[in-house]
Amino acid sequence: MSPTFISFLLAISAIIALPELAAGATRHYKFDIKLKNVTRLCKTKSILTVNGKFPGPRLVAREGDQVVVKVVNHVKNNVSIHWHGVKQIRSGWADGPSYITQCPIQTGQSYVYNFTIVGQRGTLFWHGHISWLRVSIYGPIIILPKPGVPYPFEKPYKEVTLLLGEWFNGDPEAIISQALQTGAAPNISDAFTINGLPGLLYNSSRHIQAERTTRKNIPPPPHQRRPQRRALLQHRQPHRHCRRIRRHLCETVPHEHHPHHTGQTTNLLLRTKTSPSPNSTFLIAIRPYNTGLGAFDNTTASAILHYSTTIQPLGRLPFLIVPPLPSLNNTAFVANFTSQLRSLATKQYPANVPLTIDRRFYFTVGLGTSPCPNNGSCQGPNGTKFAAAINNVSFALPTTALLQAFFFRRSEGVYTTDFPVNPPFPFNYTGTPPNDTFVVNATKVAVLKYNTSVELVLQDTSIQGIESHPLHLHGFNFFVIGQGTGNYDPVKDPVKFNLRDPVERNTFGVPSGGWVAVRFLADNPGVWFMHCHIEVHMSWGLRMAWIVLDGDLPNQKLPPPPLDLPKC
């Protein structure tokens, strides 16, 4: 299965630990890409890290801040960094996906990412955006409100970030390279992780649990009766979509389970118990949600939420009950949960859903096949190679960055602008698949005029099996106005769209065997990647790009690139 990186903010009742930052300031960071030996599952290997940390350092800023990050590449791999969820208003040169907005940073080179955070608050994350380097190059982005601006919920006493990922005992670059050469599915991961650590439920980690503990002291809230009580959030040594904290309720509307799609971030409120027994210990458990036909890592990562009357080490933990989680393929549970999500839709936090639509798109997303080169026999279905596509187009990465080719009007031989608006041939998308499952390999983009209001319906297909696909759109947030099972009906389904308070996302899962409808306003000039966030699906070609043209006014145009933009 693909690497999964999801950032959580757990607002736990304690004191605010983040520093007081003035708004409108410039925040400087330096990211040194370097190798580091790391041990997980009783195996030590060299991995790529930022500043020698795994996961990488957190980036903290306020809404309105300018962020400047100098990335220096000290390793043999080409590298780029994507600031996942940051809208990059007129700063598309800093978005980061290799061969889309920039050429990668080569060995010994550096690049300065320079962008301003506009109209955003909450928890996002950054990660490598070339090949599978994000398996170890990732970290959180914490965006605080401007000074004096309240949280849109009860102000938390403590903010804790949980990053969910995967661990491979082997070299992830070698794994995907072999899969692309043979046409087969890649080897699955060996563990899921919380803040880089698999937890207690893996056999190889149980005997070294005391050595692999990260914990955070959480001072008591003012209303707590016993002021000496402390809560510790612990992550034991060495996810995906479903998380549960035993005997605690999460979310402002209480939920014990919280499904997440790969690439999503969510702010959760966790209300600690006011009168737990001394030294109470609770397990946080995370495991995958998967509906595909292929093999996948079905293990469970874990962490510890511990209440203690002291700040002394825990020592040996008592027997812990693994909290019950939904079944691994419980599509109904995921659909029921996601359909309940809503925006605040208040005057201060409006849901600016486009109500009139300029352009409509209908995209099928899913797997397919490609012929084996040189009339050989590959290890994919029936001797072919696995592939993935949007509207049957499997996106081929160019050898130069799309944004550079577009900006300098050198698109010939790099990309074409004829990405299909609708599926090129209709069939029963969630029924019996067609006999011909070959995709078209090409570099095609869709072009939008500035300020175009877009409605996009994403339809899962049954080719090589129905599966949920988390689609991430760079450069924009979008509103999820509807979703359903089976094939989208353009007559019956739009009447059920929620245009009042739909949830706003930058990543959302196309339902397994179903569809999702989203809307966004194309008011950010540049070239913007859209792709599945299951890593192998993106490697197989489930990706495309939107070009948003400049507007008429000076503040509606993309500025020229910085002088240090990496060259191909």
Task: Write the CA distances from 339 to 128, 356, 441, 501, integer angstroms.
Answer: 31, 23, 34, 12
Q: Which long-range contacts (CB under 8 A, 24 or more apart) does 563-568 make?
A: 564/110, 564/111, 564/112, 565/93, 565/102, 565/103, 565/111, 565/404, 566/80, 566/102, 566/103, 566/104, 566/105, 566/106, 566/109, 566/111, 567/103, 568/99, 568/103, 568/399, 568/400, 568/401
> How many degrees, rounded to 5, is the angle at CA 173 between CA 170 and CA 178?
90
d(C-alpha 141, C-alpha 7), whole Å: 9
Top-confidence residue, 484 or 223: 484
pLDDT at 155 over 90: no
d(C-alpha 93, C-alpha 298), whole Å: 38
| 299-349 pLDDT, tens digit each | 999 888 777 665 555 556 656 677 778 888 888 888 888 888 889 888 888
Q: What does DSSP assign to residue 149?
A: P
pLDDT at 233 over 60: no
Residue-level pLDDT at 335: 84
For the segment 450-475, the average pLDDT, to the nearest whole number, is 97
Top-confidence residue, 18 or 43: 43
* pLDDT-wise least confident of 201-215, 389-403, 539-553: 201-215
| 59-74 pLDDT, tens digit each | 999 999 999 999 999 9
Residue-level pLDDT at 309: 61
| 364-375 pLDDT, tens digit each | 999 999 999 988
Contact 183, 385 (CB under 8 A): yes
Q: Which residues have CB under 8 Å from 221's CB, separation 6+?
A: 13, 14, 157, 272
The structure tokens 């043209």 sit at 549
pLDDT at 431 over 60: yes
For the segment 421-426, the average pLDDT, to the nearest whole number, is 96
d(C-alpha 245, C-alpha 324), whole Å: 10
Residue-level pLDDT at 113: 98
pLDDT at 5 over 90: no
- Segments in 227-343 forming alpha helices (H): 331-339
Q: Which uninterrupted H or E stretch holds 453?
A: strand 452-460
Residue-level pLDDT at 221: 44
